[in-house]
Chain A
Amino acid sequence: MRKGLIAGLCLALVLAWAGGVMAAEVRGVTPTTIKIGQWGPQTGPAALWGSVARGTGVYFQMLNEEGGINGRKIEYFLRDDGYQPGRTKAVAKELIENVGIFGFASGVGTSPGMAVMEDIVKNNLVWVGPATGSTHWAFPPKKTVFAVYPNYPDEAAILTNYILFTLKKEKIAFIYQNDDYGKGGLDGALNEMKAHGKKLVLEIPVEVTDTDLASHVLKLKEAGAEAVIMWVLPKHAAILVGTAAKLGYKPQWVASSTLSDAPLMYNLTKGLWNGVIFGNFAELPDSNDPLMAKYKAAFDKYADKKSDHWGVFFYAGFGFVEPMVEGMKRAGKDLNPETFVKAMETLKDFKGIMGKVTFAPGQRQGMREVFLAKCETADITGPDGKTVKGGKAVRLSDWISVK
């Protein structure tokens, strides 16, 4: 009898302990909140892309206003890493260990992302929609990492194909930033050319610290390139088209989606961006898509107009994170990394303001399509009510996916 009692007590204890474990709190998730972090360059050479992280902030604010996700409000932690991988590592450590977040939403930069991917995977944190088209996130697939941005090789292949068969230009040169970002694009272009038995007339690297690109441009000119694909920073794109204009060289410039903010590039280049063709991963700013209208309203309501304009990098902060929000919704009340991953794998042809996103077990590259647009000069009404000449993106194609 007594033995039975002790055994019973032990059993009860074990069960209670086990039960405690089952109900153990999930990192970053409480009954009323979900903690989500993001890094982004608010300062430094890539600060132009820093608006992605601020866009995500406005997106979450909008969702919280609507009641949050399954009754939970999102607590958002934005940290500046200045596009320096060392600092990204530090802020990720702080967010993972001190703040204890559920996961990361987006995050600009290939090298910054690479610096922290291991920590994220090791700690079983979820990470959705890195704001970079590198192939490292989805290949090989990692359980909790979901890439949304169409990867650079895919995009470069689509652009190259467009130049060859729609613009019918054969002499193509490629100018790229001498790191993973630029080389990812270069690989895509090289493969596409090879597939059609052709070669690039010139491939030429730019270092991040370069400020004088005269010899680059002269080499492009001498190679006789009719079309030049750019996989560089906005700053270098501006210097490139400026130097080319000065040296009387007028190829068809074709740019990566990282340079798709047409109004901004138009201003940076004093109008030389007119006629440039570029890849796009999200609807254009003046799109009449209902979701875009809703996000624009959120921008009008919450965004700081002094630092942000309604441009593609800002609402990319919505777009890259839409699948994450959908995943959290589908995971239901019992949100943890396991249920979240399962829910994400049910996303099939999910459509927000970007291209179609599909995940499945073993498939972590969500989006594989872009569309093309061209920058044209238009009359723009500025904030002061005056009409000035500005750049406007005009759509050239429907969504194109890799074959």
Chain B
Amino acid sequence: MFFQLIASGVAIGATYALMALAMVIIYKTSEVLNFAQGDMAMLSAFIAFMLLTSQGLGFATAFALALAFAFFLGAFLEFAFLRRAKEPTVLGLIIITLGLEMVIYGLASWKWGGDQKDFPFPVSDFETYNLGGGVVMSQLNLVTLAVALALMLMLFLFFSYTKVGVAMKATQQNESAARLMGIRVNRVLMLTWGISSVVGAAAAFLIAPTDTLDPNLMWTPQLKGFSAAVLGGMTSLPGAVGGGFLLGVIENLFGGYVSVEFKSVVAFAVIVLVLCFKPSGLFAKHYVRKV
């Protein structure tokens, strides 16, 4: 049971990692925690669902279109709402994202109803591979794992080695200086929101087939993703992914050996502990803001 608990923990951890990545991207550039992250992803999943079922598109086309939708959704929300805030404080912006979350949730409930739907997916969650010793992982788990690692690597390279990526980093470290250096801060922020939304949507596409599709789909994954990001360090991409895996494994081991009843609150205990002892997270470099 021990090794299966770890394998299952890694599998669910991969979904937390994806959500953590999505949150970290926005946090890295603007220090805003995006509470609408989960529901933006949920909306994109519904768009994919609609394209697949009522439009009858193939998986590749439907998912590609839905990811494009996710990008525009993220960019649009930044452009239409966050940018309009007058003299914004970080707290004010966070409250805006909370508002957006409620609007999107309401919109999805109104458009598709609240009842659970089956989300079609090309890769099966029941076809399993034996990893040795009877420990299994499903095809879907492996795909999720691969997607999480690939996205992490791509984003890491993007932030470190591309001009736009570096501009994003600069924006986070000092917005005014970045502006003076000729970086179009607004455009950079819009782009971050777009990318983050795409990563979130990818997470939703991979979570929905293991669950049922309904407007509450991403509520728990978002909280877990947030916990994972805090655990790993809010500013570190590899940290977020590592935090996701760690959280998944901790949860499963706790559920398996200590108490199933309190399994779902372990994530929050983890947040409290990390904030007490290592506020910057396990994997992030301690970062002191210069005055």
Contacts and interface: CB of A to CB of B under 8 A. Distances in A.
A218 B4 contact: yes
Nearest to A209: B220
A207 interface: yes
Which has the most chain A C-beta neighbours within 10 Å: B1, B221, B263? B263
Nearest to B8: A214
A48 interface: yes
Contacts of A398: none
Interface string A182-226: 000000000000000000000011010111101110110110000
Contact of B5 (A50, A205, A214): A214
Nearest to B219: A209
Contacts of B4: 214, 218, 247
B211 A235 contact: yes
A242 B125 contact: yes
Contact of A215 (B5, B118, B210, B214): B5
A222 B128 contact: no
B233 interface: no
Interface string B33-50: 000000000000000000
B211 A218 contact: no
A51 B114 CA distance: 11
Contacts of A272: 126
Interface stretch (B90-98, B192-200, B252-260): B252-260
B215 interface: yes
A210 B263 contact: yes
Contacts of A245: 126
Contact of B114 (A41, A178, A209, A211): A41
A218 B6 CA distance: 11
Nearest to A82: B114
A387 interface: no
Classify chain B: how many residues form its interface, as a range.
35 or more
Which has the most chain A C-beta neighbours within 10 Å: B117, B126, B128, B254? B126
B109 A239 contact: no
A246 B212 contact: no
B214 A45 contact: yes
Contacts of B214: 45, 47, 235
A274 B220 CA distance: 28
A43 B210 contact: no
A45 B125 contact: no
A44 B260 contact: no
A294 interface: no
A205 B260 contact: yes
B256 A219 contact: yes
Given A218-B256, A246-B125, A248-B136, A234 B116 contact: yes
Nearest to A222: B1
A246 B115 contact: no
Interface in A140-198: 178
Interface string A22-50: 00000000000000000001111101101
A50 B256 contact: no
Contacts of A239: 210-212
Contacts of B211: 211, 235, 238-239
22 contacts: A42-B114, A43-B114, A44-B215, A45-B114, A47-B116, A48-B115, A207-B264, A210-B264, A211-B207, A212-B12, A212-B248, A214-B12, A215-B251, A215-B255, A215-B256, A218-B256, A235-B214, A238-B116, A242-B125, A242-B210, A248-B134, A268-B212
Q: 5 closest A-B pairs (Cβ-Cβ)?
A: A47-B114, A215-B255, A214-B8, A43-B114, A43-B109
Interface of A: 41-45, 47-48, 50-51, 82, 178, 204-205, 207, 209-212, 214-216, 218-219, 221-222, 234-235, 238-239, 242, 245-248, 267-270, 272, 307
Given A209-B220, A242-B210, A248-B136, 8 more contacts: A42-B113, A209-B219, A212-B252, A218-B1, A218-B5, A218-B256, A246-B125, A307-B113
